[in-house]
Structure 1
Amino acid sequence: MSQVSDATSRLQLRRRDQRRRRSLTWLVGALAVVLIIGAVYVVGFSPALAARAVTVNGARVLTKAEVLEAAGVAAGTPLVWVDPSTVAERVSGLPAVAEVTVSRDWPDTVHIAVTERKPRLAIPAGGGYLLADASGVVFQAVDNAPSGLVVVEADPNSQQVLVDVGTVFSALSSATAAKVSRLEAPTRDGIVLRLRDGSRVVWGSAEESPLKSQVLDALLPLGGSVFNVSAPGFPTRR
């Protein structure tokens, strides 16, 4: 009888151990679920990790308010839901922005670093000037153009002409670009560069601008008052 009793006791103990282990396993699993739910809430929904501040650096032409409006980061937005690439794409749509970097600084800050376009061209328009970078992108209107810019005589309403002007100017070597005082573009095929020494460069259209720039760099040291690179395979000077 004692052997049967011992076996029964051992079986009961084993069953209690199994129930205890199952209860402990269930408790640990439930605790893990609670912790996961809590972490998701804290990161994704609670104000603990929400955007409380958005900093803007590098804005000079633009105001901080303009950058913030374009960024579209609402105060209190959980930082995990702020996509830096999406915010950067929005801000890059501002004409004055050449480059932008957006980063999240946990737990509560978004940083926006802007690099603005540098004015190189000034286009007379409506009693003032439109400022454009070397590629011809217009990004600011001013009453008076800063000194040292290349004045562009072209229709300020003709976007394609301004694009062509930018194509030409950005193709110039830095040394030649520094010699240009005015750029005339009465038509897309009639672009002319006026140099600071009084000489003139007949450029023609914006086609083959990189090749025309190389040819011009070879012609200028030879001297002359008129250089024609409109047909870069047969340039002339006089």
Structure 2
Amino acid sequence: MRRPEGFERPEAAEEAVRGEAPARRRRSWDRDLDPFRLDSAPSPRSSPGPTAGDAVEEPRRWALAAYAELDEEQPTAPVAPLEPAAHAGEGRGSHAQRVDRAWREAERAQRRTDREEAREARRDARTATRERRRQERAEVRRFTADARRRARTALLAAGGLALALLVLVGLVWSPLMAVREVRVEGAERLDPAVVQQALAGSVGQPIATVTEEAVAERLRAIPQIESFRVDVVPPSSVVVHLVERRPVAVAPGEGGEVVIDAAGVVLGGVDAETSALPRLDGIDLGSPEFEAVASMLVSVPPSVLEATERIEAPSPSDIRLALASGQSVRWGGAEDSRLKADVVEALLATQDPAVAVVLDVRAPEHPVVRGS
């Protein structure tokens, strides 16, 4: 049998080992050198530790003695019968070789066990990591549920508003929402056709684009309109509510007599309805006298205006009314016009229209009735 490398020994040591008696060598092997007999090996606790000189030589001596005995026993070993090729290496070799093979097999088995345990540990670690991540995601979802619900609500609201806006824009600019009718309400002396003719340009345009500024621009040329209000009635109607100017007097104009309101705006010529209005006698439009008369005319009730035939104003503080019955009124200035109008109306109700009298209301708390 060939010794492994590192176990070659000198001839002197080999001869010394071979000269020992077989029984003594057997006892020495069984007692001290057999490293695989745990019951015969000296206890680490009872045996003294190796000295410094024996630390290197002792393992080598044991190995040399063991391999020497194996060499001597090899020739006397019975020849084993031939075995199949699959089991040719089993049971052969010395005791040390069998132990060495068993040791290597045990090491391989241990390595396989270690690899299996490592793979199992990695699988367990991956499973634990996935479970931890799943739990973390569940916790995040639980703690952010309110925020996600608010965000979802906000997104739905924004989407609804955007959709409604798109629908509204589509309807506004569609032909279904175009102006097809203009209605005029509140016209008493003004012909509604005049207003409809002025707003004819709005027909056909989107109803949402009809504004009061645009309507005012078109109605500015009609002096009878004092103010107005526009109502848009979907899908295709525009309603104009008018407040007409109130004619209060007849003033001389360039082409003849014209009807004016309290602001001095010319409303047109005199017709059957306005022919009974009082005439301004010697009062120029825009003068201080006219301003005082205009303030008075705003406060006078229609019954007094209908009974007045002529208005004179030598000065802003001396306004005089000539009634159709022949009676006259000393009005004075434009102050307290509302009270003066009430007093004049009450005095006319108590006087005989056939008697020409002068009603002095310059001091409305103390009116005076005098004969003419």
| TM-score range for the pair, normalised by the shorter chain length | 0.5 to 0.7
How big is the alpha-carbon RMSD for the aligned residues of Structure 1 and Structure 2?
4.3
Larger RCO: Structure 1 or Structure 2 (Cα < 8 Å, ≥ 6 residues apart)?
A: 1
Matches within 5 A, 1:1-238: 35-36=163-164, 38-44=166-172, 46-57=173-184, 60=190, 63-64=194-195, 67-68=198-199, 73=202, 75-79=204-208, 81-83=209-211, 86=213, 94-133=222-261, 135-142=262-269, 146-158=274-286, 161-220=289-348, 221-222=350-351, 224-236=356-368, 237-238=370-371
The alignment partner of 2:206 has SS state of coil
Q: State the alpha-carbon separation in 2 of the partners of residues 68 and 129 from structure 1.
A: 30
Between structure 1 and structure 2, the one with the greater Rg is 2
More strand by share: 1
In the alignment, the residues of structure 1 paired with residue 159 and residue 300 of structure 2 have an alpha-carbon distance, to the nearest angstrom, of 68
Tell me: CA distance 1:209–1:141, structure 2 relative to 1, closer, same or farther (3 Å): same
Give the Cα separation in 2 of the matches to 1:172 and 1:124: 21
Counterparts of 1:91 and 1:161, CA distance in 2: 33
| Counterpart amino acid of residue 141 in structure 1 | G
Query: Identity rate of aligned residues, in percent?
Result: 24
- CA distance 1:54–1:189, change in 2 (3 Å): farther
Cα distance in 1 for residues equivalent to 2:288 and 2:218: 24
How many Å separate the matches in 2 of 1:181 and 1:218?
19
CA drift of 1:113 comes to 3.4
Compute the TM-score of the two structures, normalised by the length of structure 1. Answer: 0.66
* Structure 1: distance between partners of 2:233 and 2:303: 42
**TM-aligned CA deviation for residue 195 of structure 1:** 0.7
- 1:88 touches 1:100 (CA, 8 Å); kept in 2? no
Q: CA deviation at 1:74?
A: 7.3
Q: Check the 8 A contact 1:200/1:225 in 2, yes or no.
A: yes
> 1:48, CA displacement in angstroms?
3.2
Q: Distance in 1 between matches of 2:163 and 2:270?
A: 61
Say which SS state the counterpart of residue 132 (structure 1) adopts: strand
Secondary structure at 1:201's aligned position in 2? Answer: strand
Segment drifting more, 95-104 vs 158-167: 158-167
Determine the C-alpha separation between the residues in 2 that align with 1:61 and 1:188: 36
SS in 1 for 2:341: helix
Q: Deviations over 1:130-176 (max 9, x none)?
A: 2134x455341326674322222243431654443233234334443
The amino acid that maps onto 2:224 is A
Q: Distance in 1 between matches of 2:314 and 2:206?
A: 51
SS across alignment from 1:178: helix
Task: Measure how far apart 1:206 and its partner are.
Answer: 1.0
Q: 1:203 deviation in Å? A: 1.1
Q: Which segments of 5 or more consecutive residues in structure 1 lack a partner in the other structure? A: 1-7, 12-24
Aligned partners of 2:207 and 2:234 also within 8 Å: no
Cα distance change, pair 87–124 in 1 and its aligned pair in 2 (3 A): same
Distance 1:155 1:51, change over 3 A: farther
CA contact (8 A) 2:181 2:203 kept: no
TM-score normalised to the size of structure 2? 0.46
Provide, for residues 3-49 of structure 1, a one-character-per-residue CA deviation record: whole Å limited to 9, x for no partner: xxxxx9xx9xxxxxxxxxxxxx9xx97986874463143134x2335
- Displacement of 1:181: 1.5
C-alpha contact (below 8 Å) 1:92/1:98 kept by paired residues:
no
Residue pair 2:292, 2:316 contacting (<8 A) in 1 also: yes
Aligned residues: 221
Cα distance in structure 2, aligned partners of 1:218 and 1:36:
62
Following the alignment from structure 1 to structure 2, what is the Cα–Cα distance between the partners of residues 147 and 52? 39
Q: Give the deviation of 1:185 after TM superposition.
A: 2.7
Other-structure match for 1:15: none
Letter in 1 for 2:205: G
Higher helix share: 2
